[in-house]
């Protein structure tokens, strides 16, 4: 085979391989559609207006009862009890606030910075994937990745403010396996990993009953939810910071 023929054959093989690889990589919207179908379907999810999750939070060997209430589109309130004290983190759609007597004061205070960003991300009622275009965010497929032995697709979600996070979807089920995001703390950039598992159905909607959070390679907390309820009556005032 002449040099020219060998070069042509190599070029064709490379183009075929690249085309085959591209054909095997789903688009971001295809992965989002698979995720919605796996969770119960877009129609069922849109029919949800609120949710209440009850479980136990484990932090450094301590167990605390935890209740999370959320309301469409982006309201959330978390309450936990530690040593007889109630700790609250909440977002009313505009302001992130907290009550933490363990820090020396039981007065509500406004949260800002990276910690507030984490709360805002958690407050999206349908999760970060749904409606990302409407929010002005972009979503890109990074490629395949392995998370704890499971094959996943790694997505990069970039918010319109420039901040980003990675979302890993199980390649087989389409369900969320892990979120990762960078967080600045005391001048250092730390990666937060949130891993989901033990999906169970409530009213036909799959919800992760087990969540583990790691920071800088160290486990910070884990949650086990025992009760999940949808469309519970919750007033907007529940999420507003007390004066």
- The domains of the chain are located at 26-239
What CATH code would you report for 26-239? 2.50.20.10
Q: What is the three-class DSSP state of 127?
A: coil
Residue 7's pLDDT band (cuts 50, 70, 90): low
Spatial separation of the C-alpha atoms in residues 149 and 147, rounded to whole Å: 5
Q: What angle do CA 61, 89, 158 make, to 5 degrees?
A: 100
DSSP state of 171: T
Indicate the average pLDDT of the chain. Answer: 89
- CA 35/CA 109 separation, integer angstroms: 36
Judge whether residue 169 has pLDDT over 90: yes
The answer to whether 217 touches 185, Cβ cutoff 8 Å, is: no
pLDDT tens, residue by residue, 131-168: 999 999 999 999 999 999 999 999 999 999 888 999 99
Give the pLDDT confidence of 180-191 residue by residue, as tens digits. Answer: 988 776 677 788
C-beta separation of 54 from 67 below 8 A? yes
Lowest mean pLDDT among 81-95, 113-127, 157-171: 113-127
209, 56 contact by CB (below 8 A): no
Among residues 178, 173, 77, 65, which one has the least CA distance to residue 119? 77
């Amino acid at each position: 085979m002449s040099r020219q023929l060998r070069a042509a054959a190599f070029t064709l093989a490379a183009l075929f391989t690249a085309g085959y690889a591209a054909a095997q990589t789903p688009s971001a919207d295809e992965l989002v559609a698979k995720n919605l179908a796996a969770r119960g379907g877009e129609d069922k999810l849109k029919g949800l207006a609120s949710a209440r999750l009850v479980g136990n939070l484990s932090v450094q060997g301590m167990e605390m009862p935890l209740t999370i209430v959320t309301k469409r589109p982006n309201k959330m309130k978390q309450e936990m009890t530690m040593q007889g004290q109630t700790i609250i983190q909440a977002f009313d759609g505009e302001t992130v606030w907290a009550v933490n007597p363990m820090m020396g004061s039981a007065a509500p205070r406004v949260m800002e910075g990276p910690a507030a960003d984490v709360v805002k991300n958690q407050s999206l009622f349908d999760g970060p994937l749904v409606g990302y275009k409407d929010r002005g965010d972009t979503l890109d497929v990074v490629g395949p990745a392995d998370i704890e032995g499971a094959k996943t697709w790694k997505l990069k979600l970039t918010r319109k403010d420039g901040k980003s996070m990675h979302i890993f979807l199980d390649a087989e089920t389409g369900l969320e396996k892990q979120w990762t995001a960078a967080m600045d703390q005391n001048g250092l950039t730390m990666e937060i990993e949130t891993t989901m598992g033990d999906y169970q159905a409530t009213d036909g909607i799959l919800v992760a009953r087990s969540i583990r959070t790691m920071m800088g390679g160290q486990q910070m907390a884990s949650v086990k939810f025992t009760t999940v309820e949808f469309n519970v009556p919750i007033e907007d005032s529940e999420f507003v910071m007390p004066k």
